[in-house]
Structure 1
Amino acid sequence: MSSDYDVVVVGAGSMGMAAGYYLSRQGAKTLLIDAFDPPHSQGSHHGETRIIRHAYGEGREYVPLAIRAQTLWNDLQEEADETIFEKTGVLGFGPEGSAFIDEAIASSREYSLSLDLLDADEINKRWPGIQLPKGYKGCFEPDSGVLYSENCIRAYRQLAEKHNATLLTNTPVLNIETYDNGVSVQTDHETFTAKKIVISAGPWSGKVLANLGLDIPLQPTRQTVTWFDSDPSLYESDAFPAFFVDVPSGVYYGFPSFDGCGVKLGRFDTGQKTEPAYVNREYGIFPEDEGDVREFLETYMPEAAGKSNRGRACIFTRTPDEHFVVDLHPQHSHIVIAAGFSGHGFKFASVIGEVLSQLALDGHTEHDISKFSITRSELHHPKVPQK
């Protein structure tokens, strides 16, 4: 079969656009196809900002990837005409015994990361906008901060095209056919062939992979974030960090106010199961869109619990064990798969893009991605929590 391209990337969002940049930079003839026009509001990368943490409560295996991701984001900021990263620091807190906070601390020690350990009184004094009760603790990572997510996508897009990548926007993929030595990708206007393919279709990944003979348990959920009026003397980004929180009511994440926009807050551990074609993207139609996060602010950051300025709805796509899928297709080594990143994946988009380019061009990667195996037992047979 003749080949139009070396690699075609289906889904040019966070991971796909980064992969397109690294592929094209290495001289691979690259085609990126997206159903929308990235950056856009139909997936999981909109809403302006994302946290990047290095000390990692989800598992210390992520730390080397987080460190490499930070290096690559810094490189992108030097190369691009966009603001990519702002070092606000990141604060985590929760009650004594929080497994999430304990793992973040343990990961920092294992990799010698800079991390300040603080009790509730120290946190309340250092950031008067927070009011923690006795028995809480926290950790502050001064070298972490915030990524401007839409700027990141835009920068990778501009640089990929500069390196001669072809980008098709507003072009849904209708079908993918696999062959021994390549693939064909059908759109409503044309069919393209390539030696290799990268599947990074976000909430549509489950459907795409099913057509390639894979049953991967990927669950899209509708999620929201809200911006709240807040006192700039307490919560502006030059005085207040990004934060992640594991408290009895849930797991939350938030951002300081940038240029008076207000504190932005979201929640990890809730969300309505949905499908991307049917998700309601209108913010505020459900009481919990604002109610869950407002309750958190009233408890722990009452001075930030002003009126809500605005909100956004997006889609998370997660696996049962909440770890990513980054691997080659078990039967077709020229198919590279990247899925299940939502909740904590955006910060890794730079390094995952590098990984995907290596898998596509070389069939292997220098990075340890064993945790993200497509055949891992935890993916297909998740453990049931003990009551």
Structure 2
Amino acid sequence: MDYCTKYWDQLQDSSGKDIFRKVGYLAIGAVGEDFLNENIHCMTVNQAPYSLFSPEEFKRKYPMLSYDDNVGGMLDPDGGVLMADKALLAMQKSFVSHGGILRDGERVERLVPGEIIQVHSDKRSYRGKSVILCCGPWTNQALSHLGTQLPLKPIRISVCYWREQTRNSHSSSLLPTFFDHKCCDGHSIYGVPSLEYPSHVKLCLHSGPAIDAELRDVTDSAYELRLLKDYVSKHFPGLESKPSIVESCIYTMTPDTHPILDRHPVLENLIIGAGFSGHGFKLAPAVGQILGDLALGKDPTNFDITPFKLSRFGNYTKANF
């Protein structure tokens, strides 16, 4: 059992809340091509159980889907859905129970470096021997007066929910979470069965336009919605071809889509966690352990963070890519 899964299970048990629903994860792709092979390799290397479906088996297993005759799937039975709101609340309660203090609704305005770092918000000031900075798409704004700009690009994701034509035809007992790689004009698709909104499947592009985080809903979404409508009409005939709910969220992308987990290149007591590229929340337990170790002046003992160091980008002042 991996570190994150163990933690989420512990948090679920201690909170008594339904935090993780193990509905499985389905990789969809042409048999013999890279995406399915990479998923199979990952499961094999980690000695994790999985099921592999030929195109014929795939059609029988998931009759609500419609794909070409060369498309199959790989099912990870331990995949699933984190209920983000409940998970976050349980984490906060655990944090407070261990002496932590939460301060919501404050804007960080200035960091003053030094042996003791000062953090000035619009409401109060804080002092600490070390600070962990996890500001998502606002990371570069927080670092700007320190002369540091990281290669981070905020993008907007159109979060779309598609109504079932027949109720419960795409429920979590029939359809797992799924991912289809570079299938839609070069974009990837991800989705979640009917869970969050009754009789609605969450199905989104795993990409979007670059934005100013302060103006995320200004950018036109017609292109993304057109691609999604075409995809749903072709591959999910049991869903209505127009989304009935459209929301938005922000990914903060790095050039290689891997996060930054490292000390500031000059200020050793300023720790940065950023650029999670749309897949950070599920890794929160491991990320928290890594950033906590760094803040305490230790190198993480349970994880190799070499792939996540700032040095892989070379130029810390590069802001765009």
Cα displacement (A) at 1:289: 4.8
Q: How does 1:325-340 map to 2 (within 5 A)?
A: 325-340=260-275
> 353-362 or 167-176, which moves further after superposition?
353-362
Q: Which of 276, 288, 303 matches 1:341?
A: 276
What is the aligned partner in structure 1 of residue 204 from structure 2? 266
Q: Are the counterparts in 2 of residues 281 and 314 from structure 1 also a CA contact under 8 Å?
A: no
Question: How far apart in 2 are the matches of 1:379 and 1:350?
Answer: 29
Spell out, residue by residue over 1:74-96, the C-alpha distance to the aligned partner (whole angstroms, 9 max, x if none): 11111124321000001011124
Pick 1 or 2: higher relative contact order, CA cutoff 8 A, min separation 6: 1
Question: How far apart in 2 are the matches of 1:330 and 1:202?
Answer: 19
Cα displacement (A) at 1:298: 1.4
What is the aligned partner in structure 1 of residue 158 from structure 2? 224
Question: How far apart in 1 are the matches of 2:12 and 2:243?
Answer: 31
> One-letter code of the match for 2:128?
A
What is the aligned partner in structure 2 of residue 313 from structure 1? 248
How many pairs does the alignment contain?
Answer: 313
Q: Return the TM-score normalized by structure 2.
A: 0.91
The answer to whether residue 310 in structure 2 is matched with residue 374 in structure 1 is yes
Q: Are the counterparts in 2 of residues 316 and 342 from structure 1 also a CA contact under 8 Å?
A: yes
What is the aligned partner in structure 2 of residue 279 from structure 1? 216
Structure 2 CA distance for partners of 1:83 and 1:174, relative to 1, 3 Å: same
> One-letter code of the match for 1:217?
P
Structure 2 CA distance for partners of 1:169 and 1:380, relative to 1, 3 Å: closer
Structure 2 CA distance for partners of 1:76 and 1:212, relative to 1, 3 Å: farther
Question: How far apart in 2 are the matches of 1:255 and 1:114?
Answer: 21
Structure 2 CA distance for partners of 1:197 and 1:225, relative to 1, 3 Å: same
> One-letter code of the match for 2:211?
T
RMSD (Å), alpha carbons: 2.2
Consecutive aligned runs of 4 or more in structure 1 exceeding 3 Å deviation: 377-382
Spell out, residue by residue over 1:45-83, the C-alpha distance to the aligned partner (whole angstroms, 9 max, x if none): xxxxxxxxxxxxxxxxxxx9xx21111111111112432
**1:238 aligned counterpart, secondary structure:** coil
**Structure 2 residues not aligned, in runs of 5+:** none
Q: Are the counterparts in 2 of residues 333 and 363 from structure 1 also a CA contact under 8 Å?
A: no
Percent of pairs with identical residues: 27
Q: Are the counterparts in 1 of residues 149 and 316 from structure 2 also a CA contact under 8 Å?
A: no
**1:245 aligned counterpart, secondary structure:** strand
What is the aligned partner in structure 1 of residue 28 from structure 2? 93
Spell out, residue by residue over 1:145-176, the C-alpha distance to the aligned partner (whole angstroms, 9 max, x if none): 11011211111112212222111111101100
Cα displacement (A) at 1:225: 1.2
Spell out, residue by residue over 1:183-233, the C-alpha distance to the aligned partner (whole angstroms, 9 max, x if none): 000112322110110000011012212333322110001111111111344
Q: Are the counterparts in 2 of residues 325 and 374 from structure 1 also a CA contact under 8 Å?
A: yes
The answer to whether residue 143 in structure 2 is matched with residue 209 in structure 1 is yes
The answer to whether residue 93 in structure 2 is matched with residue 155 in structure 1 is no
> One-letter code of the match for 1:268?
H
Question: How far apart in 2 are the matches of 1:378 and 1:122?
Answer: 47
Q: Are the counterparts in 2 of residues 228 and 264 from structure 1 also a CA contact under 8 Å?
A: yes
Cα displacement (A) at 1:97: 5.0
Question: How far apart in 1 are the matches of 2:181 and 2:55?
Answer: 14
Structure 2 CA distance for partners of 1:86 and 1:103, relative to 1, 3 Å: same
Q: Are the counterparts in 2 of residues 243 and 253 from structure 1 also a CA contact under 8 Å?
A: yes
Question: How far apart in 2 are the matches of 1:310 and 1:289?
Answer: 14
Q: How does 1:1-387 map to 2 (within 5 A)?
A: 67-179=2-114, 181-230=115-164, 231-249=166-184, 250-258=187-195, 260-269=198-207, 271-280=208-217, 286-366=221-301, 367-377=303-313
Q: Are the counterparts in 1 of residues 24 and 79 from structure 2 also a CA contact under 8 Å?
A: yes
Question: How far apart in 2 are the matches of 1:213 and 1:252?
Answer: 37
Q: Are the counterparts in 2 of residues 93 and 246 from structure 1 also a CA contact under 8 Å?
A: yes
> One-letter code of the match for 1:86?
R
Q: Are the counterparts in 1 of residues 147 and 317 from structure 2 also a CA contact under 8 Å?
A: no
Q: Are the counterparts in 1 of residues 133 and 272 from structure 2 also a CA contact under 8 Å?
A: yes
Question: How far apart in 1 are the matches of 2:182 and 2:311?
Answer: 33
> One-letter code of the match for 1:103?
E
**2:129 aligned counterpart, secondary structure:** strand
**Structure 1 residues not aligned, in runs of 5+:** 1-63, 383-387
Q: Are the counterparts in 1 of residues 137 and 213 from structure 2 also a CA contact under 8 Å?
A: yes
> One-letter code of the match for 1:251?
S
**2:261 aligned counterpart, secondary structure:** strand
> One-letter code of the match for 2:135?
A
Question: How far apart in 2 are the matches of 1:345 and 1:100?
Answer: 21
